[in-house]
Amino acid sequence: MALAANALTTVATVEDELGISSGTENARLQRMINAASAHVQNFCNRTFYRDTAIAETVSASEGPYMILARPPINSITSVVYSGSTIDSSEYEIHNANSGILYAVAGSWGRTGLYYGDISQTRAMGMERKLYTVTYDGGWYTPKQDDDDEDVTRDLPYDIEQAVLYVVAYMRRQMGRDPSVASESLLSSSVSYASVGGAGGSDWLTTQIPAAASILSRYRIPVLR
């Protein structure tokens, strides 16, 4: 067992947080960190760890904005439209933390489908991914800091704290049937939780609201 590439904390940090003796639960904690990091990533609809050479295919509206999936944007290497490289003077980073590029001319090229009638109306949601953006995006995680002496962690500490909350919850639940909501010793009564949690809310919100509250500001909409 080893920490996954998207792990958002380290075994040493979890040991310190939970008061676990160093080296006594390595494999278990690595598995829980991997699972907790995946829960956080899925809740926020994004990948947090930094990659200096992301090649993302993107569609764009005819407006000035293009949204990338791996913010924050640290730098742009190239933007290619239908095989042709766009000069860097034609775009700029509009909002690094939100992953937004801006077309200086005011509009990106057409990537949508249009009805063939006289109106030439654009078919919403049918844009083709004709742009390939190569860029440096995301934050360096504590794991990346540990793995590479030339890297300094810049992942926000509240994201790591949310992961620690999830790991702590998972460790407390070891060996328990998650479908059991309550038990009674006398007369052997057992009640079961409804599938999906109260009100159909996602698992993180219902089970670890403190983590969900922290992460809510980092969630991004699923646009494609």
Q: What are 129-154's pLDDT values in tens digits?
A: 899 999 999 999 999 999 999 999 99
Is 170 in the same domain as 105? no
Is 30 in the same domain as 59? no
Domain, as residue range, for 116: 51-137
Q: Is the predicted pLDDT of residue 203 greater than 90, yes or no?
A: no
The pLDDT assigned to 128 comes to 79
- Could you tell me the pLDDT band of residue 11, with boundaries at 50, 70 and 90? very high
> Domain for residue 98, yes or no?
yes
> Domain for residue 56, yes or no?
yes
The pLDDT assigned to 149 comes to 95
Is 94 in the same domain as 172? no
* Cα three-residue angle 24-29-34, rounded to 5 degrees: 160
Q: Is the predicted pLDDT of residue 122 greater than 60, yes or no?
A: no
User: What is the number of structural domains in the chain?
Assistant: 2
What is the residue-averaged pLDDT of the chain? 87
As a whole-number percent, the residues of the chain with pLDDT over 70 amount to 79
Q: Which of 137, 166, 199 is the last residue of a domain?
A: 137
Q: Is the backbone peptide bond immediately before 72 cis, with ω within 30 degrees of 0?
A: yes
Instruction: Show Cβ contacts of residue 192 under 8 Å, excluding neighbours closer than 6 positions.
Output: 179, 180, 181
Is 185 in the same domain as 200? yes
> Domain for residue 94, yes or no?
yes
Is 41 in the same domain as 83? no
What is the model's pTM? 0.83
Q: Which of 84, 109, 137 is the last residue of a domain?
A: 137
pLDDT in tens, 51-71: 999 999 998 777 899 999 999
Is 161 in the same domain as 110? no
The pLDDT assigned to 188 comes to 59
Is 74 in the same domain as 130? yes
Is 184 in the same domain as 128? no
Q: Is the predicted pLDDT of residue 221 greater than 60, yes or no?
A: yes
3-state DSSP assignment of residue 67: strand
Contact, 131 vs 111, CB < 8 A? yes
- Could you tell me the pLDDT band of residue 183, with boundaries at 50, 70 and 90? low
> Domain for residue 106, yes or no?
yes
Is 117 in the same domain as 188? no
Per-residue pLDDT, averaged over 159-170, amounts to 98
Alpha carbon distance 136, 99 (integer Å): 11
> Domain for residue 143, yes or no?
no
Per-residue pLDDT, averaged over 185-203, amounts to 55
Q: Which of 111, 137, 163 is the last residue of a domain?
A: 137
**How much is the CA Rg of the chain, to the nearest whole Å?**
22
Q: Is the predicted pLDDT of residue 168 greater than 90, yes or no?
A: yes
